[in-house]
Structure 1
Amino acid sequence: MWSVSAIVGLLIAGIILGILGRLFAPGRQDIPFWLTILAGIVGALVGNMLAGWTGVANTAGFDWWRHIFQVVVAVIAVILAASLYPRARTRA
């Protein structure tokens, strides 16, 4: 079961990684902020899994590779979200 602190930590990580994902993604991402946070949460979870699979999840000192995986996955998630999110309709 997820604790409240784990959920709050994941939400904060989602905000930070979502913003970094939008910053590093090429072009303009016309998506709402909640979708940016969701892309960041995906980046955090999938990035942690990739770090675990490659054996760099728990290293001595700062986990550079884990965070690099998280940012890269967040960028990919933002790009996918921007391409799949319906565009706003133009008014006639």
Structure 2
Amino acid sequence: MLGLIVSLIVVGLIAGALARLLVPGKQDIGILPTIVVGIVGSFVGGFLGYLIFHKDKANGFFQPSGIVGSVIGAIIVLLIYVRVSGRHTVRH
């Protein structure tokens, strides 16, 4: 159980950091929200992968497709987060 939690944190950190690198603009979030975005993105990516390909984690937890799905899910979650919590800027 502890290994699963550590794995989720590590994958969440990697996926969240890659999502922040790939999404243009500045995101004013720290390391903990980055990990949360990555973990939620992993679930989103896994759910979308299941809907599209009808596969689940029976083939193993760490797979290249799972990491890619986690990053794609984290990008989706980060874009939603940026849109929802976007600052109200004044444009002239």
Indicate whether the TM-score tops 0.5: yes
For residue 27 of structure 1, report the CA deviation from its aligned partner: 0.9
Structure with the higher helix share, 1 or 2: 2
How large is the RMSD of aligned CA atoms in angstroms? 2.3
Residue 90 of structure 1 aligns with which residue?
none
Question: Structure 1 counterpart of 2:12, which letter?
Answer: G
For residue 32 of structure 1, report the CA deviation from its aligned partner: 1.7
| Unmatched 5+ stretches in structure 2 | 88-92
Aligned residue pair count: 83
For residue 14 of structure 1, report the CA deviation from its aligned partner: 0.4
Native 8 Å contact 1:15 1:37 kept in 2: yes
For residue 71 of structure 1, report the CA deviation from its aligned partner: 1.2
Native 8 Å contact 1:18 1:39 kept in 2: yes
Alignment of 1:70-89 (within 5 A): 70-85=70-85
Native 8 Å contact 2:9 2:35 kept in 1: yes
Q: Deviations over 1:27-50 (max 9, x none)?
A: 111112211110000111121122
Residue 25 of structure 1 aligns with which residue?
23
Residue 54 of structure 2 aligns with which residue?
55
